[in-house]
Amino acid sequence: MKELQLLETKGTMTSLEIAKITGKRHDNVLADIRDEIKKLGANLGLLIFQETDYINEQNKQTYPMFVLTSDGVLQLAARYDAVVRFKLIKAVRNKTYQKIQLEDTRIKESEIYLKLAELTSNEKYKETLIVLSTNKLNGSEVLSLPKVDKKSYTATEVGNKLGITSMKVGSIAKKHNLKTEEFGFWAYDKAKHSNKQVESFRYYENVINELKKYI
């Protein structure tokens, strides 16, 4: 399959989607796009129409298709009747709105990771949070997570290993002074169901044998 380069304008739509929206056969949509490229000239046409291919789920064969920018969709829509144009313009607006919402969510989550990084004193954890923030903002893994010298676990994960609740883990650790650098570190995490930052202790593997003494 051809490697698909990212088009400069996001919120793209494929020729397969165009065919579904318009009710036209895909091969006819491909012919229409190629005609538009011919009229515009390759230099301009290929900025808004990019040819690639896809694998048909039924017969596993490879077929050509195009990826269109929002400008490409509007360019193609101009050759169709009013009803079809309306459908395509509406689809482009919906895609653009969804993209804006997605980017807004990514930005907010990226900022949360950065705030958490500012709060923690653990340098390795800080580095991890900064990488997570960068990757979240870009929407892909542009940076690799730092190698972890010691694997850490949440209270829930430790509890699952021992067959007790996370609250029980926390209670025993607090009572016997196990929340120290020897057995883990304090970190700020994003709350599961909100954007609040919650301080919690992450445990190293060696805490398990210590906890077993008090169960």
Non-local CB neighbours of 36 within 8 Å, separated by 6+ positions: 45, 49, 75, 76, 79
Task: List the 152-153 sheet strands across, edge first.
Answer: 152-153, 197-204, 184-190
Instruction: Give residue 15's pLDDT.
Output: 96
158-179 pLDDT tens trace = 999 999 999 999 999 999 999 9
Q: Where are the domains of the chain?
A: 13-80, 151-215
Q: Which pLDDT band holds residue 189 (cuts at 50, 70, 90)?
A: low
Q: How confident is the model at residue 76 (pLDDT cuts 50, 70, 90)?
A: very high
What's the CATH code, domain 13-80?
A: 1.10.10
Mean of the per-residue pLDDT values of the chain = 85
SS (H, E, C) the chain: CCCCCCCCCCCCEEHHHHHHHHCCCHHHHHHHHHHHHHHHCHHHHHHHEEEEEEECCCCCCEEEEEEECHHHHHHHHCCCCHHHHHHHHHHHHHHHHHHHHHHHHHHHHHHHHHHHHHHCCCHHHHHHHHHHHHHHHHCCCCCCCCCCCCCEECHHHHHHHHCCCHHHHHHHHHHCCCCCCCCEEEEEEECCCCCCEEEEEEEECCHHHHHHCCC
Topology given in CATH for the domain delimited by 151-215: Arc Repressor Mutant, subunit A (1.10.10)
pLDDT in tens, 93-104: 888 777 777 778
Instruction: Give the confidence band of 8 by pLDDT, cuts at 50, 70, 90.
Output: very low
